[in-house]
Amino acid sequence: MQFDAAGAVSTMQAGFAALSALVVSYSLSAIGAVILLVAGYLAAGLAERSLAAALGGIRGMDQTLITFFSKIARYAILGLVLVMVLGQFGVQTASIIAAMGAIGLAIGLALQGTLQNIAAGVMLLVLRPLRIGEFVEVDTIAGTVEEIGLFASRLRAPDGVYILAPNSTLWNKPIRNYNRNKVRRRDIEVSIGDGQDIALAQKTLVDLARRDRRVLENPAPEAFVSALGEDSVTLTLRYWTSDRDVQGAETSLRRAAKEAFQRQDAPDEPDANPSSEAPAKASGRKAV
């Protein structure tokens, strides 16, 4: 069989032409992809810094939220850039987006509890039902807030025990914040004997509260009968104080009330020098 040199040369020329066109095409795509990557990276950084600066100008915005939202903006732009780069090489981006959606759904179902904690952490940081340094009680959890994170929050119990509470637990239960309101009411119960003067005991309790500088004048302190027993009467001293003085004022008033009623119950001591016995006059002799 005779070798067709002209046909072979023609085929090689056609192959080189196709290869050259392919190289040129992919080179342009690669250059476009590099340009997109660089521009997207710069745009993502600019968006992150701009959003962080904008959120930082909002009064009361937590730094954790600022970082969280700015990072989301950054990675969202980078993800969009990645899809655009793949589109430069002819990849069907619609199928990629659908696959990413399916993967995201699967991850969301697998990490449902974790995502719930993140959502609860965002709500805690936005609405601020508790702040660092405040003493809160949530169900069986009670302590001073030390840190509020996106997944969990750290508290310190009154006895110094370390508590790490999931944010979903703190968000889904009623929160009792003992420091949010600056004025607090306290009640102190005191029991007296059935035969004691109730009016005098009430006056004694109110006077003790008025003499304590930590007790507010308005609303004024009051004392009233709160319970009746077989041989005792329970009085309640009700007063208002600032949240900083709750513990100190209550301790002092309990001690003062106890001491005051002990003095009232104590029998009168006999006179050491009764008037019926005149002291012996000084003389040269000893008194006999």
Residues 6+ apart with CB under 8 A from 78: 40, 41, 44
Q: Does residue 245 sit within a domain?
A: yes
In whole angstroms, what is the distance from residue 3 CA to residue 64 CA?
A: 76
pLDDT score recorded for residue 7: 60
* Spatial CA neighbour of 214 closest among 186, 242, 185: 242
Q: Clarify whether residues 155 and 138 are in a common domain.
A: yes
239 near 209, Cβ under 8 Å? Answer: yes
Q: Clarify whether residues 21 and 105 are in a common domain.
A: yes
Domain with 103 in it: what CATH number?
1.10.287.1260
pLDDT score recorded for residue 121: 87
Q: Clarify whether residues 170 and 236 are in a common domain.
A: no
Q: Does residue 137 sit within a domain?
A: yes
Q: Clarify whether residues 19 and 36 are in a common domain.
A: yes
Domain with 216 in it: what CATH number?
3.30.70.100
Domain count, the chain: 3
Residues 6+ apart with CB under 8 A from 245: 214
pLDDT score recorded for residue 6: 59
For 183-208, how does the pLDDT look when each residue is reduced to its tens digit (9 = 90+)?
999 999 998 887 888 999 999 999 99
Q: Is the pLDDT of residue 286 over 50?
A: no
Task: Identify the residue whose tokens are 């001293």.
Answer: 237
Q: Does residue 74 sit within a domain?
A: yes
- Give rounded-to-5 percent helix, strand, coil for the chain: 55, 20, 25
Q: Clarify whether residues 140 and 224 are in a common domain.
A: no
254 near 188, Cβ under 8 Å? Answer: yes
Burial class (CB in 10 A: 0-12, 13-18, 19+), 15: exposed
Does the predicted TM-score (pTM) go above 0.85? no
Q: Is the pLDDT of residue 135 over 80?
A: yes
Q: Clarify whether residues 160 and 200 are in a common domain.
A: no
Q: Does residue 201 sit within a domain?
A: yes
Task: Identify the residue whose tokens are 């929050």.
Answer: 153
Q: Clarify whether residues 195 and 162 are in a common domain.
A: no
Give the structural domain span for 99.
15-110
* Spatial CA neighbour of 239 closest among 219, 260, 259: 219
**φ/ψ of residue 21, rounded to 5:** -65, -40
Q: Does residue 24 sit within a domain?
A: yes
189 near 174, Cβ under 8 Å? Answer: no
pLDDT score recorded for residue 48: 86
Q: What is the mean pLDDT of residues 160-174?
A: 92
Q: Does residue 228 sit within a domain?
A: yes
**φ/ψ of residue 44, rounded to 5:** -65, -45
Q: Kind and range of the H or E element at 118?
A: helix 112-127
Q: Does residue 193 sit within a domain?
A: yes
Domain stop point among 81, 110, 139: 110
Q: Clarify whether residues 19 and 68 are in a common domain.
A: yes
* Count of beta carbons in the 10 Å neighbourhood of residue 96: 14
- Alpha-carbon dihedral sign for residues 219, 221, 222, 228: positive
